[in-house]
């Protein structure tokens, strides 16, 4: 009789524990579902917005690429949250297993990305970007992805070259444009206090320091994203931890379902 009561008590405690895991997993995945829905909504709104916001974003390749990244992340989180909620509340083994496998794949992909980032960290140095800029940047060829991307970076961050405008000396750009010391993307824009005219444009292209941006893009981009880099690193650790807990909860619930 004592053994029967102990067994019943153990079964009850195990059932309570599984119920707690089930509802915790449901709440956790519902929040993921809401976050994914929000990101999807923002991405779709930007792409179909009739007020002209889409044209503003489309004019900048960096922002336009960011919209598709938001859509991809939103879709992934939406699917994960939906599968996790349905699998937890319905105690469906197939959905829980699929959720576990999807989380595992994402976790392994993030781990692989971190390893690759560590292996190829030398490709993120000033020297590497300077060498590539000298070798590949053409200046006015908008059909070349490398050139158009650099033009967008220099225009967006009001910078010139990787380290300074001196990076364009003895480069492919100067061989193609022998009369220009710097590309047009390095010149001050109309938002600056400097008078923008045909003469100032010529002064800029000929190398006059008063009419061009003199700060290097490497420093400009790092300064701009410095806070975001630390926040992204902290979020990455939080996300990896959450994913590990999600996998553990999913597998515990999977094994506990009779």
pLDDT digits (tens, 9 = 90+) for 124-153: 678 888 988 999 998 887 778 888 889 988
CB 186 within 8 A of CB 212: yes
Region 34-47: what's the mean pLDDT?
78
Q: Is 212 helix (H, G, I), strand (E, B) or coil?
A: strand
Which phi-psi region, left, alpha or beta, contains residue 208 (left: φ > 0; alpha: ψ -120 to 50)? beta
pLDDT grade, residue 6 (50/70/90)?
very low
pTM listed for this prediction:
0.52
* pLDDT in the model for residue 51: 54
**Distance in angstroms (rounded) separating the CA atoms of residues 136 and 258:** 62
* pLDDT in the model for residue 232: 65
Q: Quote the DSSP letter at residue 120.
A: T
Residue 116 confidence (pLDDT) above 50: yes
| Max avg pLDDT among 18-22, 69-73, 169-173, 205-209 | 169-173
| Max avg pLDDT among 115-119, 165-169, 201-205 | 165-169
Residue in this structure with the two tokens 């990101």, named with its chain if needed? 39
Helix (H) or strand (E) holding 165: none
Q: Quote the DSSP letter at residue 206.
A: T
């Amino acid at each position: 009789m004592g053994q029967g009561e102990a067994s019943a008590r153990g079964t009850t405690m195990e059932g309570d524990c599984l119920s707690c895991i089930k509802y915790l997993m449901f709440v956790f995945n519902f929040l993921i579902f809401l976050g994914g829905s929000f990101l999807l909504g923002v991405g779709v709104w930007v792409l179909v917005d009739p007020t002209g916001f889409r044209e503003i974003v489309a004019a900048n390749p960096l922002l336009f690429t960011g919209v598709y990244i938001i859509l991809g992340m939103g879709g992934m989180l939406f699917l994960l949250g939906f599968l996790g909620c349905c699998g937890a509340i319905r105690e469906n083994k197939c959905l829980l297993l699929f959720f576990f496998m999807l989380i595992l794949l994402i976790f392994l992909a993030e781990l692989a990305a971190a390893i690759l980032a560590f292996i190829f960290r030398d490709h993120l140095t000033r020297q590497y970007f300077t060498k590539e800029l000298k070798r590949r940047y053409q200046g006015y060829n908008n059909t070349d992805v490398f050139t158009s991307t650099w033009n967008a970076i220099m225009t967006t961050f009001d910078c010139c070259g990787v380290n300074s405008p001196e990076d364009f000396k003895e480069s492919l750009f100067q061989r193609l444009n022998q009369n220009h010391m710097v590309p047009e993307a390095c010149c001050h824009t109309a938002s600056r206090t400097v008078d923008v005219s045909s003469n100032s444009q010529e002064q800029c292209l000929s190398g006059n320091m008063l009419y061009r941006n003199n700060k290097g893009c490497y420093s400009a981009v790092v300064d701009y994203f410095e806070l975001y880099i630390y926040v992204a690193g902290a979020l990455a650790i939080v996300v990896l931890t959450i994913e590990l807990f999600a996998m553990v909860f999913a597998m515990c619930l999977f094994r506990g379902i009779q």
